[in-house]
Amino acid sequence: MRSRLVAILAFAALVAGGAMGCGGGDVEAARERLERDVQERVAQAREEYERRRERFGRRTIYVSQRFAADLYEGVARGLPGEATGAGRAEGDFAVAYVLAHEYAHNLQQELGIFDNRVTATARPFELQADCLAGTWANSVYAQGELQPGDLEEAANAALAVGDFDVGNAQHHGTPEERRAALLDGFRSGDPPTCLRYVPT
């Protein structure tokens, strides 16, 4: 899995390098071209996401190639926890954590835990998804495939994506809560441990 992920992200970096006009020339003009290109691609990705979501529902995980490449390279911008100095999203296992977290949302829906109903806050569902991502990381460890620094990459990414917008219904959990949920799942390795995050 790891070599395939690295190959995909290397290709994404190559494509992004071409978008910058790396043949030399005016750096400011290249930066402006890149900004325009990124804005256009983000708009296109959002449109495509909505089209696919309508067609396939929540059975498919959507993480843009650019976002995954930015996470891998440690240059993702706008992560709330990271903006305050909490954590840093970087590396292949940071990307793996994000994918595992998103897959956990699919599991929540399949199991009837999350059914797209409006709730007071997204926080319990997000922390449960972090916990389930931690149980997946434990399974990687049990298979002997966890490399030195992998868990630290995931924990730092969890810190980086945490937020402090407690009054907002879309609050996902503070950086410390997100990391704690991930590590709770990792330490237990048992998915039912994660049931405690969502009241029944």
- Residue reference for tokens 């330490």: 187
The predicted pLDDT at position 48 comes to 65
Q: Which domain holds residue 153?
A: 60-197
Q: Does any domain span residue 52?
A: no
Where do the H-state alpha helices sit in the chain?
Answer: 2-19, 27-56, 65-73, 80-83, 92-110, 123-142, 150-161, 175-188
The predicted pLDDT at position 63 comes to 80
What does DSSP assign to residue 147? P
Q: Does any domain span residue 28?
A: no
Q: Does any domain span residue 46?
A: no
Q: Does any domain span residue 69?
A: yes
Structure tokens at 3: 């070599």
Q: Kindly report the number of other CB atoms within 10 A of residue 70's CB atom.
A: 22
The predicted pLDDT at position 26 comes to 53
Structure tokens at 63: 């993480």
The predicted pLDDT at position 91 comes to 94
The predicted pLDDT at position 195 comes to 93
DSSP code string of 43-68: HHHHHHHHHHHHHHGGGS----HHHH
Q: Does any domain span residue 41?
A: no
Q: Does any domain span residue 31?
A: no
The predicted pLDDT at position 123 comes to 94
Q: Does any domain span residue 106?
A: yes
The predicted pLDDT at position 13 comes to 44
Structure tokens at 56: 């396939």
Total structural domains within the chain: 1
> What is the residue-level pLDDT of the chain in tens, covering all 200 positions?
444 444 444 444 444 454 434 444 455 565 566 556 656 766 666 676 566 566 555 556 778 888 888 989 989 888 999 999 999 999 999 999 999 999 999 888 888 887 766 678 899 999 999 999 999 999 999 999 999 999 999 999 999 999 999 888 889 999 999 999 999 999 999 999 999 999 76
Q: Does any domain span residue 10?
A: no
**No. of helices (H) and no. of strands (E), the chain:** 8, 0
